[in-house]
Structure 1
Amino acid sequence: MPDHETAPTFDLQSHSTYSDGALPPAEVVDAARDAGVRVLALTDHDTVDGVEEALSAAADVRVIPAVELSSVHGEHEDLHILGYGLDHTDATLLATLADFRQDRIRRIHAMAEKLRALGFTIDPKRLEHDSPGRPHLAKALLEDNDLNLTKDEVFAQYLVPGTPTYVGRSRPTVEQAIEVIHAAGGLAVWAHPYWDVEHAEATLRAFAAAGMDGVEAFYATHTEEQTRRLHVLARELGLITTGSADFHGPAHEHFNRFRAFSLHGLEPDLGRLGLD
């Protein structure tokens, strides 16, 4: 883990109670400020509803209006595309995100029904959320049933592709996500490539050809080798290189601290997202 004094002062992925984070947007900003973050992005899943609150709380933190779109691409059913610096008040964007959330709601309730068919109890009220995700379903499964499992084990057994109770997204495709972000004046960046794709380099080339603007080369779970591979390829392809600790809240199993990622001595290229 990087030393706090030398860790990056930007952190361009975080989540609030508007998606799968534990804190309201203003408290996310406060936590980022306390951790020494100077440039922050609130990237809730398929919604920008928390952005205005984050901007209002910004003070001495620069908050970039942003969103994280869960997207499909071939056999990959949940790749995440970050949209940075977009117009979060754009009417077309808001309508499109509302449609994407309907697909998110459909798949979560479909998975819940499959789990109930196996005999599990899941209170529907636990899934009453504007942007429900698999973490909400995993939490409901653990709290409503006597399971001797961790949250990670629940995901592995029930909520990932290949398990009998998994249901995939139907939209948007990665190309559609890029188009939506660009139409709202934003930059499209592929989040945590190695979290979802074992061999990310060829996929990044395809996304760059489709208009992707950047890649999250610096990430909490990326190894130094993975980071260096992405950094070299991004420079070749003319992509910006962002980074994050993917903050979800102080009690999250994995993503509970800001600035908890390393640059490994490399120079990020944040483009117009960087400090003035």
Structure 2
Amino acid sequence: MFDLHIHSLYSNDGEYSPTDLVRQCVKSGINVMAITDHNTVAATGEAKKSALEHNIDYIPGIEIDCTFKNTNFHVLGLGINFNDAVYKEIENNIRTQGQTISYSRLQKIRELGFNIKEDDLHALSKHSFWPETWTGEMFAEIVLNHPDYKDHPLLKPFRSGGERSDNPLANFYWDFFAQGRSCFVKASYPDMTNIIDIIHQTHGYAVLAHPCVNLKGKMQLLTDIIKAGIDGIEAFSSYHTKEQAAYIFDIVKQNHLFTTCGSDYHGKIKPAIRLGQHHCTLTAEEMEKQLISLL
């Protein structure tokens, strides 16, 4: 089984160490994996060593925030030379913006009526690889556990039995902090075409992650993204229905790209998502044929 979209604690919203994830992949029957942390390759050295010890094929990866025609996207870099200094530059670009963005997020969520304390946010972030960054999931964890907001109407969908309660922390991020939402704060992300070039220059393959999330209502952009030089598309994702996956996979075949499968596993912020959960309909042999250059 393949899972080429996994997050470790080196993502600002991940939970487990690279070694822990390798062990979990063994238990889940996954024999080809990639840790694709947000804007950093910090997990790769440990992950490669542990995967080798457990007889798992490991593909070096990263998930990079970028923009294309005023829309934010995530692009996976798979099979990259992770030692290239350019990936540290990508990490530093995000890190230097972290504190300013975090305080802007705090101001916006306070405007919604949630009196969140800085000390509570520092307590959640201080042991993170990104201590200067307060994520939407961190804000969610605080407000959802705060006794004063037990019956707050804005939080009802995220409570047990609510329509957004399957992954309440992640869904809170998407509903309040994602692009176009009330607490969204714009970051300075590189253009997707530049990221595609960087991935290619470091001998990797550029893959558009979970397109049905970021292209919601803008599916016409996919044609232009393909023309920009993307190598593959993550058709099979925990975010996609079977119908959406089939639709994207048809586009992949029509454009002679390859497809990947990824759970986007994070741990506690997405409790409904498990490793290997991506609804892939391809056999192991079919997937290997597509990804032969990565293995």
Shorter-chain TM range is 0.7 to 0.9
Cα distance between partner residues in 2 of 1:264 and 1:92: 35
Offset at residue 62 of structure 1 (A): 1.1
1:192 has 2:210 as partner: yes
Partners of 1:85 and 1:187 within 8 A in 2: yes
In 2 relative to 1, CA 203–105 (structure 1 residues): closer, same or farther, beyond 3 Å? farther
Structure 1 CA distance for aligned equivalents of residues 223 and 266 of structure 2: 29
Counterparts of 2:102 and 2:76, CA distance in 1: 21
Q: Which residue of 1 aligns with 2:293?
A: 272
Q: Which residue of 1 aligns with 2:66?
A: 71
Alignment of 1:202 onto 2:202:
no
Q: Which residue is 1:222 aligned to? A: 240
Question: Is 1:17 the counterpart of 2:45 in the alignment?
Answer: no
Contact 1:71 1:169 in 2 (8 A): no
Unaligned runs of 5+ in 2: 159-167
CA 1:251–1:156: 2 relative to 1, 3 Å: closer
User: Is the alpha carbon distance of 1:249 and 1:90 closer, same or farther for their aligned partners in structure 2, counting shifts above 3 Å?
Assistant: same
- Identify the residue that residue 45 of structure 1 maps to in structure 2: 38
Distance 1:177 1:106 in 2: 24
- State the TM-score, normalizing by the size of structure 2: 0.80
Aligned equivalents of 1:110, 1:46: Cα separation in 2: 21
1:111 to 101, 105, 108: 105
Which runs of no fewer than 5 residues in structure 1 stay unpaired?
1-8
Aligned residues: 264
Q: CA deviation at 1:225?
A: 2.0
Identity %: 28
1:246 CA drift (Å):
1.4
Given residue 148 of structure 2, which amino acid in structure 1 is its aligned partner? D
Contact conserved, 1:108 with 1:137, CA < 8 A, in 2? no
Aligned to 2:140: 138
Moved more, 181-190 or 131-140: 131-140
Query: Is residue 88–residue 94 contact of structure 1 (8 Å, CA) maintained in 2?
Result: no
- Range with greater deviation from structure 2 (193-202 or 24-33): 193-202
Give secondary structure in 2 for the equivalent of 1:232.
Answer: helix
Matched residue, 1:28: 21
Q: CA deviation at 1:114?
A: 2.5
Query: Matches of 2:258 and 2:218 in 1, distance apart?
Result: 16
Residue identity in the other structure for 2:97: D
1:102 maps to 96
Q: Which stretch of the first structure deviates more once superposed, 155-164 or 53-62?
A: 155-164
Preserved contact between residue 114 and residue 143 of structure 2 (Cα < 8 Å): no
* Superposition deviation, residue 157 in structure 1: 5.3
Answering whether residue 44 of structure 2 is matched by residue 62 of structure 1, we say: no
- In the alignment, is the contact (CA less than 8 A) between 2:137 and 2:172 conserved in 1? no
Shift of 1:33: 1.2
- Tell me the TM-score normalized by structure 1: 0.85
One-letter code aligned to 2:276: R
> Does structure 1 residue 263 correspond to structure 2 residue 257?
no
- Deviation track 1:200-232 (CA, whole Å, cap 9, x = no partner) reads 653222112111110001112312221122112
| C-alpha distance in structure 1 between counterparts of 2:219 and 2:175, whole Å | 28
Q: What residue is the counterpart of 1:179 in the other structure?
A: 197
Deviation, 1:37, is: 0.6
Structure 1 runs, 4 residues or longer, greater than 6 Å off: none
Q: Which residue of 2 aligns with 1:6?
A: none
Distance 1:72 1:251, change over 3 A: closer
